[in-house]
A and B are shown apart, each in its own frame.
Chain A
Amino acid sequence: MNRRKLWAKLVLLIVGTFYVLPMLAMARFSFQRVPVIKLGWGTILKGWTIQPMLDAVTSSRFLDAAWLSVRLAVLTAVLSMVLLVPTAIYVHVRLRKARPFIEILSILPYVVPPIALVVGISGAMRNIVPSFIASPYSLVPFYVIISLPFSFRSLDIGLSSIDIKTLVEASRSLGAGWMRTIRSVILPNLKVGIVNSSFLTFAVVLGEYTIASLLLKFTLPAFMAESQGNNPQGTFTVGLLLLVVSAALLGVMNRFTRKKGAVVPTVGI
């Protein structure tokens, strides 16, 4: 038992180091005004400053890019939930045989290169709705697709962790129609899945560069790529900031979803 605990701690330490070390290196590079060649133990306390970060985040281009990314992330998360929550519920309650097929469908975006997706969809849309690609919001459908492996699976796991069929039947036998059942029984029990799914979608969108770049949209990753030349430290501080915000958000979500009632395992992240 003790030996197993020791092993577990050791593995945790190695994984933790693997995860934290690059971030610490990134933090030093971002917040220390010391030439890279001189970064070492001797300079560990020298030249710390938040100026590169301030320069980056106060520029109007950063604010525009960040605001666009946040809007796209929120819209993508909302659209994904509107499309996927009813689909996932339907598949689990009424169409269980189709689940493997839907699962395969949901991981298809992994194997379709973004360039193929962009060329295909933009080519088709140009003929149908010429103004579609011009709008920055044209990224939303692409993002819904590329975040599908994460968003659908989170919901799917969330639904698998509860006996959804019996709960639906219990609710209906008590007189609740479908809408009432979804609102009062399924959604509260799917809260963890929905939160996880939305959060992952949000994170995918905030970090997506290829499609935005191909469609010439100025999102946060596009800003970071652009500013890497003139303010590399600033770029890294933004990257680090994104990581910290994401981790904090994850912590908040976890606390929120574990409030009371059912003990539902945290899934998907």
Chain B
Amino acid sequence: MEDMNTDSVALQLSALRKSFGSTVALSQFNLDIASGELVTLLGPSGCGKTTALRIAAGFEQPDSGVVRLRGTDITQLPAHKRNMGMVFQNYSLFPHMNVLGNVGFGLKVRGVQASVCAERSAAAIERVRLGGMGDRYPHQLSGGQQQRVALARALVIEPQLLLLDEPLSALDAKVRAELRDEIRALQSDTGISTIFVTHDQDEALSISDRICVMKDGEVQQIGTPREIYFKPANNFVARFVGAMNEIPSATVPDGNRPPNSSMLLRPDAVTVCARGEVGSLDAVVTGQHFGGSTTMVRLRLELSGVVVSAQLLSRSINLSVGDKVGVVLNTNEAIVEP
């Protein structure tokens, strides 16, 4: 994003550093978010992604560094003056207010006329497909519905930035997938620049314009989902995003790699064929994990004993444990690590 036009930058986090006691949560953290862009902060627990989001929201003060919103330094600006909508991981609806009250809260605070407030709140509730539920209280809603209300509440104030702090992690798989798509659609419709925090790589890959992979408070790579998946900047990113096979180079009959090195290969770069085909390695099927449209097949290479996973289309395979097959490793897509 170094070449991002200054005018198009919605939020700029520059050289942020934050520590809690002796623990460094963020170290030299830089991130620019373009107008209308959805950027995901992805990383394992404790990598600093939530800290970065909370600094952007104004709930934490960085030890050093600058936060700019549309070019204006807001590092010292209190959270309630930043005009950012936020959705939290744990349902954050006000329990004593009904849906309409919750959604209208931000407008009321801004002194919007009662009739306009009611109209805009109702429209926002309709937009998240909860029409007719305005008089319900949070405890009368499911988790998914509560997060929809939280989303409507954050969007109705027309924020300059939308901050989503693992909003789907408390939901079950089906609702999670539905709401993920809805969030993306709403974000695209409204064009509000968004930061989405998650530790779920699938979520990050499917929802983001760009992903910022973090580890130990530092940015490992910023790129589009395809870049992150197919061209990981380092071994951490390669291993963290998507499944990965680690294969000793000596296993593969290709003399161009250092003998003690390993190569990292995605399961979708491993194909299964009949034994004896040119370029294939003999293998035995040791297990398979059906995942709907695709199946993850585990194979043991006979010569080296190394176990690899192959992601194959479920419809195209008919394998059983113990089958003797051939395996082709598409080494052009491999990453070599010393």
A interface with B by C-beta (< 8 Å): 162-163, 166-167, 169-177, 180, 184-185, 188-189, 191, 260-264
Contact A261 B92 (CB under 8 A): no
Convert B67-108 into 0s and 1s, putting 1 for each residue whose CB lies closer than 8 angstroms to a CB of A.
000000000001111111110101011111110000001100
| B230 interfacial by beta-carbon distance below 8 Å | no
**A176–chain B nearest beta-carbon distance, Å:** 5
B interface with A by C-beta (< 8 Å): 57-59, 78-86, 88, 90, 92-98, 105-106, 109-110, 137-139, 150, 153-154, 157, 163
Contact B95 A174 (CB under 8 A): no
Contacts of A185 in B (CB 8 A): 94
Given contacts A162-B95, A261-B95, A262-B96, contact A175 B137 (CB under 8 A): no
**A97–chain B nearest beta-carbon distance, Å:** 11
Interchain CA distance A175-B97 in the complex, whole Å: 17
Contacts of B81 in A (CB 8 A): 175
Given contacts A172-B80, A177-B80, A262-B137, contact A189 B86 (CB under 8 A): no
Question: B83, B94, B139: which contacts A175 (Cβ < 8 A)?
Answer: B83
Interchain CA distance A169-B80 in the complex, whole Å: 9
Most buried by B among A169, A173, A184: A173
Most buried by A among B98, B106, B153: B106
Interchain CA distance A74-B218 in the complex, whole Å: 56
Contact A170 B139 (CB under 8 A): no
Contact A176 B80 (CB under 8 A): yes
Given contacts A166-B88, A262-B139, contact A172 B95 (CB under 8 A): no
Interchain CA distance A170-B106 in the complex, whole Å: 10
Contact B153 A174 (CB under 8 A): yes
Contacts of A188 in B (CB 8 A): 94, 96
**B117–chain A nearest beta-carbon distance, Å:** 13
Contacts of A172 in B (CB 8 A): 58-59, 78-80
Contact A173 B94 (CB under 8 A): no
Contacts of B109 in A (CB 8 A): 174-176, 180
Contact B92 A175 (CB under 8 A): no
Contacts of B83 in A (CB 8 A): 175
Contact A173 B85 (CB under 8 A): yes
Question: B84, B110, B138: which contacts A173 (Cβ < 8 A)?
Answer: B84
Contacts of A166 in B (CB 8 A): 88, 90, 92
Interchain CA distance A197-B150 in the complex, whole Å: 32
Given contacts A175-B106, A175-B157, A176-B109, contact A170 B96 (CB under 8 A): no
**A102–chain B nearest beta-carbon distance, Å:** 21
Contacts of A176 in B (CB 8 A): 80, 105, 109
Contact A170 B86 (CB under 8 A): yes
Contact A189 B96 (CB under 8 A): yes
Most buried by B among A171, A175, A188, A189: A175
* Closest residue of A by beta carbon distance from B86: A173
